[in-house]
């Protein structure tokens, strides 16, 4: 969330930057909401002072009557004043709520060094790593076909249980997913310095609001209500990890903080029907290892570059070919001010596809969640960053497609084979 005074003071500049993301910014509406809030608070403070003064003197503050009021007059006067205070307080709460709801709909301001544009064709390629493995004569099969022929993916069983956009991993496939999660957590914990957490998969509306999923993306979330208690299934571990520090003030010496967790992720994928319906790329439920960093705002740019190296280290360890692109201003997430997408090569689709987004959110989430740090005698909103390191399903898809051989087998990277106990997946459900 933004500081309303900063948005108003830099009004034309705010309009220009938000226009780069395609967001129509109502500066006049924001000014009116802020004026209403200020006026309401001034009225409350004035009436409270009047009530306090009248109670202390035992007579109306502006009384010029020749005779003192009776006890009944005093009680009636104070009652009327208290009623006016309560009405003014109610108006102030309403004005405060309306302003907050308006601010919650304003996305983060994009960084100035982002390219212009609104979709993937406007992204700028930063680097490309590795050959286009898995392509060529007798190769290029889609991971869904490979998974079925290898006997490790059962889409029919998933459909019977839950319908479209779910998956079932079988035998070596299930072990592959488990091994991949362990490798990634070990890499981030032992080599990259992240602290691992096990977090809830159900969180409150306040928690979802803190990281920017609500109110904008409510249609993309799965929710449940039991006994009048509303909870949301997390779309990513970014939500609980970041909010672990909500409404806290950290010592500056603790920064930067680095956290990771492997969790299921649940996404309704509203509006995406018809895209990536086969395989593991766009599921309602999938597992992911998430990375979150918390730092001072002036350190966020360096922390973003550092987190990007951690994500790339995963792909290099898994011997996967990929590229890094800088997203344009109109294609970054609601809470982000700058995002790199890491795209893995998928020969089955003959293209690079996103496997991780690494984002600098600046102080946007810190303000929404009340996440601060103490520097000297002042408290400042902390900056937050997040990235996938990595999603299990999409990584399995890339391993299958890039590791495929003409005989229908799939060769796994050495680093992962140490976790699975096998180097090759064989047609029909075997491994060796």
Catalytic residue, from 133, 282, 317, 424: name it: 282
For residues 100 and 126, state if they share a domain: no
For residues 124 and 98, state if they share a domain: no
For residues 16 and 71, state if they share a domain: yes
* pLDDT the model gives residue 377: 85
For residues 60 and 128, state if they share a domain: no
For residues 87 and 124, state if they share a domain: no
For residues 424 and 373, state if they share a domain: yes
> Is 111 a domain residue?
no
Catalytic residue, from 149, 167, 321, 357: name it: 357
For residue 257, the domain's CATH number is 3.30.930.10
Query: Would you call the peptide bond into 215 cis, given omega within 30 degrees of 0 as the criterion?
Result: yes
Catalytic residue, from 37, 141, 267, 337: name it: 267
For residues 164 and 64, state if they share a domain: no
* pLDDT the model gives residue 397: 98
> Is 114 a domain residue?
no
For residues 93 and 131, state if they share a domain: no
Q: If you search the block for the tokens 């109670």, which residue do you land on?
A: 55
For residue 8, the domain's CATH number is 1.10.287.40
Catalytic residue, from 20, 262, 368, 394: name it: 394
Residues listed for the chain: 432
For residues 78 and 162, state if they share a domain: no
> Is 109 a domain residue?
no
Mean pLDDT for each 10-residue chunk of the chain (432 residues)? 90 95 94 95 91 70 59 80 90 94 95 95 97 91 96 94 95 97 98 98 97 94 93 98 97 97 91 71 96 98 98 98 98 97 97 98 97 93 98 98 96 96 93 92
For residues 83 and 224, state if they share a domain: no
**What's the token pair of residue 304?**
């973003």
> Is 216 a domain residue?
yes
User: Catalytic site residue 305?
Assistant: no
* pLDDT the model gives residue 256: 98
Catalytic residue, from 354, 374, 380, 424: name it: 354
Report the distance separating Cα 251 and Cα 61, nearest Å: 47
> Is 115 a domain residue?
no
For residues 175 and 273, state if they share a domain: yes
* pLDDT the model gives residue 171: 96
Residue finishing a domain among 51, 69, 104: 104
For residues 153 and 85, state if they share a domain: no
User: Catalytic site residue 354?
Assistant: yes
Residue finishing a domain among 80, 104, 128: 104
Q: Supply the range of the domain harboring residue 54.
A: 4-104
> Is 159 a domain residue?
yes
* pLDDT the model gives residue 66: 57
Is the entire prediction scored with pTM above 0.85? Answer: yes
* pLDDT the model gives residue 64: 53
Domain count, the chain: 2
Structural Rg of the chain based on CA atoms? 27
* pLDDT the model gives residue 72: 76
> Is 252 a domain residue?
yes
The per-residue pLDDT of the chain, averaged, comes to 93
* pLDDT the model gives residue 58: 57
User: Catalytic site residue 282?
Assistant: yes
User: Catalytic site residue 267?
Assistant: yes
């Amino acid at each position: 969330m933004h500081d309303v005074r900063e948005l108003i003071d830099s009004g034309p500049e705010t309009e220009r930057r938000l226009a780069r993301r395609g967001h129509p910014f109502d500066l006049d509406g924001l000014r009116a909401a802020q004026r209403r809030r200020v006026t309401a608070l001034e009225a409350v403070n004035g009436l409270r002072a009047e009530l306090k003064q009248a109670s202390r003197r035992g007579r109306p503050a502006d009384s010029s009557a020749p005779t003192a009021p009776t006890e009944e007059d005093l009680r009636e006067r104070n009652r009327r004043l208290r009623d006016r205070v309560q009405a003014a307080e109610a108006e102030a709460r309403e004005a405060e709520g309306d302003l907050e709801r308006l601010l919650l709909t304003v996305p983060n301001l994009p960084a100035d060094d982002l390219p212009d544009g609104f979709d993937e064709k406007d992204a700028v390629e930063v680097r490309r790593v590795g050959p286009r493995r898995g392509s060529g004569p007798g190769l290029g099969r889609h991971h869904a076909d490979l998974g079925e022929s290898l006997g490790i993916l059962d889409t029919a069983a998933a459909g019977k249980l839950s319908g479209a956009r779910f998956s079932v991993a079988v035998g070596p496939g299930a072990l592959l997913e488990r091994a991949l999660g362990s490798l990634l957590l070990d890499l981030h914990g032992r080599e990259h310095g992240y602290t691992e957490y096990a977090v809830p998969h159900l969180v409150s509306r306040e928690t979802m609001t803190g990281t920017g999923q609500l109110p904008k993306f409510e249609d993309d979330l799965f929710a449940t209500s039991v006994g009048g208690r509303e909870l949301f299934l997390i779309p990513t571990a970014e939500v609980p990890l970041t909010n672990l520090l909500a409404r806290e003030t950290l010592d500056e010496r603790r920064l930067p903080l680095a956290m990771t967790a492997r969790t299921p992720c649940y996404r309704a994928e509203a509006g995406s029907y018809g895209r990536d319906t086969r395989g593991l790329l766009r599921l309602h439920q999938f597992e992911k290892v998430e990375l979150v960093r918390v730092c001072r705002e002036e350190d966020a740019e360096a922390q973003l570059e550092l987190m990007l190296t951690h994500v790339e280290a995963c792909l290099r360890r898994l011997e996967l070919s990929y590229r890094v692109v800088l997203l344009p201003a109109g294609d970054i997430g609601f809470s982000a001010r700058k995002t790199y997408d890491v795209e893995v090569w998928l020969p089955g689709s003959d293209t690079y596809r996103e496997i991780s987004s690494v984002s600098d959110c600046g102080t946007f989430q810190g303000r929404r969640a009340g996440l601060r740090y103490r520097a000297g005698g002042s408290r400042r909103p902390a900056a937050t960053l997040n990235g996938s390191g990595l999603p299990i399903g999409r990584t399995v898809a890339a391993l299958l497609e890039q590791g495929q051989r003409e005989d229908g087998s799939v060769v796994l990277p050495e680093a992962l084979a140490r976790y699975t106990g096998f180097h090759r997946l064989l047609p029909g459900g075997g491994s060796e």
